[in-house]
């Protein structure tokens, strides 16, 4: 890594620090020629292979802008979108492959989006999975309903929930 100030072709690492989430390493470097210091950030590369075969670097911003459309008019904040994009990136990195299919990204978005907002999820899924009939919507909604029922059941199985107001009164 050459020095950004004097272009000296070598530099010395004086400090390395791993980011809290382990996704990157920040190195403080010093140029042995001019003595100035600079920082480099090292992350594992993650590329997306588009349907056309073109490869481009993974971008959280693209996830956010793709999902934002589906969230129009929904109670979803920019922070929610940023967190969702972070989850998607974590999921993809956990798969351990440096190149991912654009299709995989859509799949990785569906899970966290469903937890965030079900209407936005249905909108996104209808485009991504190319719903072309009412039946497609119906089956997606049926599976959401089934999940609600499962969650309610799990809540019952856990016994009294102090937050639901039906506590141990009487
Ligand atoms: Zn230098």
pLDDT in tens, 42-62: 887 889 998 899 999 899 999
Sorting pLDDT into bands at 50, 70 and 90, what band is 38? very high
How confident is the model over 86-125, as pLDDT tens digits? Answer: 999 989 988 888 899 988 999 999 999 999 999 999 999 9
Kindly give the distance from the C-alpha atom of residue 45 to the centroid of ligand 1, in angstroms, as a whole number: 27
Please tell me the distance from the alpha carbon of residue 110 to that of residue 135, in angstroms, as a whole number: 19
Kindly give the distance from the C-alpha atom of residue 152 to the centroid of ligand 1, in angstroms, as a whole number: 63
Sorting pLDDT into bands at 50, 70 and 90, what band is 8? very high
**Model confidence, pTM:** 0.68
Kindly give the distance from the C-alpha atom of residue 11 to the centroid of ligand 1, in angstroms, as a whole number: 8
Query: DSSP secondary structure string, 103-141?
Result: HHHHHHHHHHHHHH-HHHHHHHHHHHTT--SHHHHHHHH
Mean of pLDDT values over 7-29: 88
How confident is the model over 75-89, as pLDDT tens digits? Answer: 999 999 999 999 999
- Residues 132, 68 share a domain: yes
Kindly give the distance from the C-alpha atom of residue 23 to the centroid of ligand 1, in angstroms, as a whole number: 28
CB atoms within 10 A of CB 148: 10
Kindly give the distance from the C-alpha atom of residue 2 to the centroid of ligand 1, in angstroms, as a whole number: 8
When the pLDDT of each residue in the chain is averaged and rounded to a whole number, the result is 88
Structural domain contains residue 28? yes
Kindly give the distance from the C-alpha atom of residue 37 to the centroid of ligand 1, in angstroms, as a whole number: 8
- Residues 113, 64 share a domain: yes
The domain containing residue 34 runs over which residues? Answer: 12-43
User: What's the first-to-final CA gap in the chain, in angstroms?
Assistant: 72
Quote the DSSP letter at residue 93.
H
Structural domain contains residue 135? yes
Tokens of 32: 């042995």
């Amino acid at each position: 890594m050459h020095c950004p100030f004097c272009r000296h072709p070598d530099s010395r690492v004086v400090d390395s620090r791993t980011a809290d989430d382990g996704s990157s390493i920040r190195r403080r470097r010093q140029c042995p020629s001019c003595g100035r210091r600079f920082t480099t950030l090292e992350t594992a590369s993650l590329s997306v292979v588009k349907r056309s075969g073109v490869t481009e670097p993974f971008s959280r911003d693209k996830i956010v802008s793709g999902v934002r459309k589906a969230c129009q008019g929904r109670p979803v904040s920019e922070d929610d979108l940023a967190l969702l994009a972070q989850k998607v990136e974590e999921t993809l990195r956990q798969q351990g492959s440096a190149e991912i299919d654009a299709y995989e990204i859509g799949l990785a978005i569906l899970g966290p989006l469903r937890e965030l907002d079900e209407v936005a999820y249905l909108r996104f899924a209808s485009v991504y999975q190319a719903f072309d009939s009412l039946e497609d919507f119906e089956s997606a909604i049926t599976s959401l309903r089934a999940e609600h029922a499962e969650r309610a059941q799990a809540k019952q199985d856990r016994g009294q929930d102090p937050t639901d107001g039906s506590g141990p009164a009487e």
